[in-house]
Amino acid sequence: MVLARFGQIVIGPPGSGKTTYVTHMADLLRGLGRKVAIVNLDPANENVEYNAEIDVASLVQLQEVMETMKLGPNGALVYCMEFLRENFSWLEDRLNELAKGTYVLMDCPGQVELYTTNNAVRDVVARLGKLDLRLAAVHLVDSHYCSDPGKFISVCLTSLTTMMQIELPHINLLSKVDLVEKYGKLQFNLDYYTEVLDLEYLLDCFPEDNFTKKYRALNKAMTDLVTDYSLVNFIPVTVKSKERMLAVSQQVDKANGYVFGSGEERNLRNMMGSALGGADFEWAKTGDLRTDYMGDAAEGR
Protein backbone atom coordinates (compact mmCIF):
# COMPACT_ATOMS: atom_id res chain seq x y z
CA MET A 1 0.00 0.00 0.00
CA VAL A 2 1.37 3.43 -1.00
CA LEU A 3 1.54 5.75 2.02
CA ALA A 4 3.72 8.60 0.77
CA ARG A 5 2.08 11.29 -1.30
CA PHE A 6 3.19 11.73 -4.89
CA GLY A 7 2.13 14.14 -7.55
CA GLN A 8 2.67 16.42 -10.50
CA ILE A 9 3.09 20.17 -10.62
CA VAL A 10 1.73 21.16 -14.03
CA ILE A 11 3.29 24.28 -15.54
CA GLY A 12 3.62 25.95 -18.93
CA PRO A 13 2.68 29.03 -20.98
CA PRO A 14 -0.89 30.35 -21.19
CA GLY A 15 -3.07 28.33 -23.53
CA SER A 16 -0.83 25.25 -23.50
CA GLY A 17 -3.64 23.08 -22.12
CA LYS A 18 -2.62 22.71 -18.47
CA THR A 19 -6.12 22.70 -17.00
CA THR A 20 -7.45 20.31 -19.65
CA TYR A 21 -4.47 18.04 -19.04
CA VAL A 22 -5.08 18.06 -15.28
CA THR A 23 -8.76 17.20 -15.79
CA HIS A 24 -8.05 14.22 -18.06
CA MET A 25 -5.02 13.01 -16.12
CA ALA A 26 -7.10 12.98 -12.93
CA ASP A 27 -9.76 10.88 -14.67
CA LEU A 28 -7.15 8.48 -16.02
CA LEU A 29 -5.38 8.02 -12.68
CA ARG A 30 -8.67 7.49 -10.87
CA GLY A 31 -9.46 4.83 -13.46
CA LEU A 32 -6.23 3.12 -12.43
CA GLY A 33 -7.42 3.12 -8.83
CA ARG A 34 -5.51 6.09 -7.40
CA LYS A 35 -7.02 8.54 -4.96
CA VAL A 36 -6.44 11.89 -6.68
CA ALA A 37 -6.68 15.42 -5.31
CA ILE A 38 -6.51 18.46 -7.59
CA VAL A 39 -4.85 21.60 -6.27
CA ASN A 40 -5.63 24.76 -8.23
CA LEU A 41 -2.76 27.20 -7.75
CA ASP A 42 -3.86 29.48 -10.60
CA PRO A 43 -5.98 32.37 -9.26
CA ALA A 44 -6.85 33.28 -12.87
CA ASN A 45 -8.57 29.91 -13.48
CA GLU A 46 -12.28 30.36 -14.09
CA ASN A 47 -14.97 27.88 -15.09
CA VAL A 48 -12.64 24.90 -14.85
CA GLU A 49 -13.91 21.41 -15.63
CA TYR A 50 -12.66 19.87 -12.40
CA ASN A 51 -13.54 20.25 -8.73
CA ALA A 52 -10.42 21.27 -6.83
CA GLU A 53 -9.86 19.88 -3.35
CA ILE A 54 -7.60 22.88 -2.67
CA ASP A 55 -8.14 26.22 -4.44
CA VAL A 56 -5.77 29.18 -4.08
CA ALA A 57 -8.76 31.48 -4.64
CA SER A 58 -9.65 30.75 -1.02
CA LEU A 59 -6.43 32.54 -0.08
CA VAL A 60 -6.07 35.29 -2.67
CA GLN A 61 -8.21 36.42 -5.61
CA LEU A 62 -6.76 37.86 -8.79
CA GLN A 63 -9.52 40.38 -9.47
CA GLU A 64 -9.33 41.74 -5.95
CA VAL A 65 -5.56 42.16 -6.24
CA MET A 66 -5.94 43.97 -9.57
CA GLU A 67 -8.46 46.40 -8.10
CA THR A 68 -6.72 46.94 -4.76
CA MET A 69 -3.12 47.14 -5.99
CA LYS A 70 -3.95 48.85 -9.31
CA LEU A 71 -2.12 46.14 -11.24
CA GLY A 72 -2.66 44.55 -14.63
CA PRO A 73 -3.39 40.82 -14.88
CA ASN A 74 0.26 39.77 -15.23
CA GLY A 75 1.51 41.90 -12.36
CA ALA A 76 -1.41 40.83 -10.21
CA LEU A 77 -0.68 37.17 -10.89
CA VAL A 78 2.95 37.60 -9.86
CA TYR A 79 1.72 39.33 -6.68
CA CYS A 80 -0.66 36.40 -5.99
CA MET A 81 2.14 33.84 -6.23
CA GLU A 82 4.40 35.94 -4.02
CA PHE A 83 1.51 36.19 -1.55
CA LEU A 84 1.19 32.39 -1.62
CA ARG A 85 4.91 32.10 -0.92
CA GLU A 86 4.61 34.40 2.08
CA ASN A 87 1.57 32.46 3.33
CA PHE A 88 2.82 28.99 2.50
CA SER A 89 1.46 27.62 5.78
CA TRP A 90 -2.04 27.95 4.28
CA LEU A 91 -1.11 25.49 1.52
CA GLU A 92 0.85 23.23 3.87
CA ASP A 93 -2.09 22.90 6.26
CA ARG A 94 -4.48 21.91 3.48
CA LEU A 95 -2.06 19.42 1.98
CA ASN A 96 -1.63 17.84 5.41
CA GLU A 97 -5.40 17.35 5.56
CA LEU A 98 -5.25 15.04 2.53
CA ALA A 99 -5.14 11.33 3.25
CA LYS A 100 -1.85 9.49 2.99
CA GLY A 101 -1.43 7.94 -0.42
CA THR A 102 -3.34 10.75 -2.15
CA TYR A 103 -1.90 11.58 -5.57
CA VAL A 104 -1.76 15.37 -6.05
CA LEU A 105 -2.16 17.25 -9.34
CA MET A 106 -1.22 20.92 -9.05
CA ASP A 107 -2.56 23.23 -11.77
CA CYS A 108 -0.28 26.28 -11.92
CA PRO A 109 -0.51 29.75 -13.54
CA GLY A 110 0.67 30.27 -17.10
CA GLN A 111 2.83 33.40 -16.94
CA VAL A 112 6.25 32.42 -18.28
CA GLU A 113 8.13 34.85 -16.02
CA LEU A 114 6.97 32.83 -13.00
CA TYR A 115 9.21 29.97 -14.19
CA THR A 116 12.09 31.91 -15.70
CA THR A 117 12.82 35.15 -13.82
CA ASN A 118 10.55 35.41 -10.77
CA ASN A 119 11.39 33.23 -7.77
CA ALA A 120 7.95 32.86 -6.15
CA VAL A 121 7.01 29.52 -7.73
CA ARG A 122 10.55 28.18 -7.30
CA ASP A 123 10.43 29.02 -3.59
CA VAL A 124 7.00 27.40 -3.18
CA VAL A 125 8.27 24.25 -4.92
CA ALA A 126 11.32 24.18 -2.65
CA ARG A 127 9.08 24.30 0.42
CA LEU A 128 6.84 21.58 -1.00
CA GLY A 129 9.94 19.41 -1.27
CA LYS A 130 10.32 19.58 2.51
CA LEU A 131 6.88 18.04 3.00
CA ASP A 132 6.02 14.38 2.55
CA LEU A 133 5.21 15.05 -1.11
CA ARG A 134 7.26 13.72 -4.03
CA LEU A 135 6.65 15.84 -7.10
CA ALA A 136 7.65 15.86 -10.74
CA ALA A 137 7.27 18.97 -12.90
CA VAL A 138 5.20 18.49 -16.06
CA HIS A 139 5.86 21.35 -18.46
CA LEU A 140 3.42 21.74 -21.37
CA VAL A 141 4.05 23.72 -24.54
CA ASP A 142 1.66 23.92 -27.48
CA SER A 143 2.80 21.62 -30.30
CA HIS A 144 1.72 24.03 -33.04
CA TYR A 145 4.92 26.00 -32.30
CA CYS A 146 6.73 23.23 -34.19
CA SER A 147 5.50 24.76 -37.45
CA ASP A 148 7.45 27.99 -36.78
CA PRO A 149 11.25 27.48 -36.48
CA GLY A 150 11.83 30.64 -34.46
CA LYS A 151 9.05 29.88 -32.01
CA PHE A 152 10.17 26.27 -31.56
CA ILE A 153 13.72 27.38 -30.76
CA SER A 154 12.28 29.82 -28.21
CA VAL A 155 10.17 27.01 -26.74
CA CYS A 156 13.27 24.86 -26.30
CA LEU A 157 15.12 27.67 -24.55
CA THR A 158 12.14 28.41 -22.29
CA SER A 159 11.87 24.73 -21.41
CA LEU A 160 15.57 24.59 -20.55
CA THR A 161 15.31 27.74 -18.39
CA THR A 162 12.27 26.34 -16.60
CA MET A 163 14.05 23.05 -15.91
CA MET A 164 16.91 24.95 -14.30
CA GLN A 165 14.60 27.27 -12.33
CA ILE A 166 12.17 24.61 -11.05
CA GLU A 167 14.47 22.13 -9.37
CA LEU A 168 12.38 18.99 -9.80
CA PRO A 169 12.43 15.86 -11.98
CA HIS A 170 11.10 17.30 -15.21
CA ILE A 171 8.91 16.04 -18.08
CA ASN A 172 8.40 18.26 -21.14
CA LEU A 173 5.23 17.69 -23.16
CA LEU A 174 4.21 18.81 -26.63
CA SER A 175 0.51 19.30 -25.93
CA LYS A 176 -2.42 19.24 -28.37
CA VAL A 177 -0.39 17.13 -30.76
CA ASP A 178 -3.63 16.41 -32.64
CA LEU A 179 -3.36 20.06 -33.78
CA VAL A 180 0.38 19.99 -34.49
CA GLU A 181 -0.03 21.22 -38.07
CA LYS A 182 -2.82 23.68 -37.35
CA TYR A 183 -0.72 26.64 -38.55
CA GLY A 184 1.34 24.92 -41.23
CA LYS A 185 3.20 21.80 -42.28
CA LEU A 186 6.25 20.74 -40.32
CA GLN A 187 9.65 21.10 -41.96
CA PHE A 188 10.83 17.80 -40.48
CA ASN A 189 9.49 14.53 -39.16
CA LEU A 190 7.73 14.78 -35.78
CA ASP A 191 10.53 12.80 -34.13
CA TYR A 192 12.90 15.65 -34.96
CA TYR A 193 10.91 17.93 -32.66
CA THR A 194 10.27 15.46 -29.84
CA GLU A 195 13.94 14.43 -29.63
CA VAL A 196 15.21 17.98 -30.35
CA LEU A 197 17.68 16.73 -32.93
CA ASP A 198 20.29 19.07 -34.48
CA LEU A 199 18.47 22.36 -33.97
CA GLU A 200 20.86 24.13 -36.31
CA TYR A 201 18.93 22.65 -39.24
CA LEU A 202 16.05 24.93 -38.31
CA LEU A 203 18.29 27.91 -39.06
CA ASP A 204 18.18 26.95 -42.74
CA CYS A 205 14.45 27.74 -42.65
CA PHE A 206 15.10 31.44 -42.00
CA PRO A 207 15.16 33.81 -44.99
CA GLU A 208 18.57 34.96 -46.23
CA ASP A 209 18.28 38.74 -46.12
CA ASN A 210 19.66 41.66 -44.14
CA PHE A 211 16.38 42.14 -42.26
CA THR A 212 16.56 38.70 -40.64
CA LYS A 213 20.34 38.53 -40.29
CA LYS A 214 20.40 39.59 -36.63
CA TYR A 215 17.32 37.48 -35.88
CA ARG A 216 19.05 34.46 -37.36
CA ALA A 217 22.18 35.18 -35.32
CA LEU A 218 20.08 35.37 -32.14
CA ASN A 219 18.48 32.03 -32.89
CA LYS A 220 21.90 30.54 -33.64
CA ALA A 221 23.04 31.57 -30.17
CA MET A 222 19.91 30.05 -28.61
CA THR A 223 20.28 26.75 -30.47
CA ASP A 224 23.90 26.52 -29.32
CA LEU A 225 22.83 27.05 -25.71
CA VAL A 226 20.11 24.39 -25.83
CA THR A 227 22.44 21.95 -27.59
CA ASP A 228 25.26 22.55 -25.12
CA TYR A 229 23.08 21.45 -22.21
CA SER A 230 21.45 18.61 -24.20
CA LEU A 231 18.64 18.27 -21.64
CA VAL A 232 15.51 19.16 -23.61
CA ASN A 233 13.24 16.64 -25.27
CA PHE A 234 9.47 16.28 -25.47
CA ILE A 235 6.78 13.65 -25.15
CA PRO A 236 3.91 14.28 -27.58
CA VAL A 237 0.49 14.17 -25.93
CA THR A 238 -3.15 14.77 -26.69
CA VAL A 239 -5.94 14.25 -24.18
CA LYS A 240 -7.89 12.59 -27.01
CA SER A 241 -5.52 9.59 -26.86
CA LYS A 242 -5.58 7.32 -23.82
CA GLU A 243 -2.37 5.74 -25.13
CA ARG A 244 -0.56 9.09 -25.03
CA MET A 245 -1.87 9.97 -21.57
CA LEU A 246 -0.81 6.57 -20.24
CA ALA A 247 2.63 7.16 -21.75
CA VAL A 248 2.95 10.42 -19.83
CA SER A 249 1.73 8.88 -16.57
CA GLN A 250 4.36 6.15 -16.82
CA GLN A 251 7.15 8.65 -17.45
CA VAL A 252 6.02 10.82 -14.54
CA ASP A 253 5.90 7.76 -12.28
CA LYS A 254 9.51 7.03 -13.18
CA ALA A 255 10.45 10.65 -12.52
CA ASN A 256 8.91 10.99 -9.05
CA GLY A 257 9.48 7.39 -7.97
CA TYR A 258 5.84 6.32 -7.68
CA VAL A 259 5.41 2.56 -7.22
CA PHE A 260 1.89 1.13 -7.37
CA GLY A 261 0.38 -2.02 -5.94
CA SER A 262 -0.85 -5.15 -7.67
CA GLY A 263 -4.41 -3.87 -8.08
CA GLU A 264 -3.32 -0.75 -9.90
CA GLU A 265 -0.83 -2.75 -11.96
CA ARG A 266 -3.69 -5.00 -13.10
CA ASN A 267 -5.81 -1.98 -13.98
CA LEU A 268 -2.90 -0.52 -15.92
CA ARG A 269 -2.46 -3.70 -17.98
CA ASN A 270 -6.17 -3.75 -18.76
CA MET A 271 -6.19 -0.08 -19.70
CA MET A 272 -3.07 -0.46 -21.85
CA GLY A 273 -4.63 -3.37 -23.70
CA SER A 274 -7.79 -1.35 -24.29
CA ALA A 275 -5.87 1.68 -25.52
CA LEU A 276 -3.51 -0.21 -27.79
CA GLY A 277 -5.65 -3.12 -28.91
CA GLY A 278 -3.06 -5.56 -27.55
CA ALA A 279 -0.05 -3.93 -29.24
CA ASP A 280 3.20 -3.23 -27.46
CA PHE A 281 3.17 -0.09 -25.32
CA GLU A 282 5.94 2.04 -26.84
CA TRP A 283 5.47 5.65 -25.88
CA ALA A 284 8.43 6.86 -27.94
CA LYS A 285 6.86 5.91 -31.27
CA THR A 286 5.14 8.70 -33.19
CA GLY A 287 3.87 6.73 -36.15
CA ASP A 288 0.30 6.71 -34.84
CA LEU A 289 0.38 10.50 -34.48
CA ARG A 290 1.54 10.99 -38.06
CA THR A 291 -1.21 8.65 -39.25
CA ASP A 292 -4.00 10.14 -37.15
CA TYR A 293 -3.19 13.84 -37.04
CA MET A 294 -0.71 14.79 -39.77
CA GLY A 295 -2.07 15.26 -43.24
CA ASP A 296 1.10 14.27 -45.10
CA ALA A 297 1.62 10.91 -43.35
CA ALA A 298 1.07 9.09 -46.62
CA GLU A 299 4.02 10.90 -48.16
CA GLY A 300 6.32 9.32 -45.58
CA ARG A 301 7.71 12.55 -44.17
In a domain, 220, yes or no: no
Q: Is 223:157 a contact under the CB 8 Å cutoff?
A: no
What's the rounded mean pLDDT across residues 89-99? 94
In a domain, 216, yes or no: no
Q: Is 110:14 a contact under the CB 8 Å cutoff?
A: yes
CATH code, 33: 3.40.50.300
Q: Which of 49-63, 219-233, 282-296 has the highest mean pLDDT?
A: 49-63
Question: Residue 1: is its pLDDT beyond 50?
Answer: no
In a domain, 219, yes or no: no
In a domain, 217, yes or no: no
pLDDT the model gives residue 176: 93
In a domain, 264, yes or no: yes
Range of the domain at 124: 5-196+232-293
In a domain, 114, yes or no: yes
Q: How far is CA 116 from CA 44, 99, 112, 256, in A?
A: 19, 33, 6, 22
Q: Is 245:239 a contact under the CB 8 Å cutoff?
A: yes
In a domain, 212, yes or no: no
What's the rounded mean pLDDT across residues 287-294? 67
- pTM for the full predicted model: 0.87
Q: Which of 102-106, 228-232, 281-285 has the highest mean pLDDT?
A: 102-106
In a domain, 275, yes or no: yes
pLDDT the model gives residue 261: 67
Q: What is the pLDDT of residues 218-276, one digit of tens each?
A: 888 889 888 888 888 999 999 999 989 998 999 999 999 988 766 777 777 777 665 54
Structural domains of the chain, count? 1
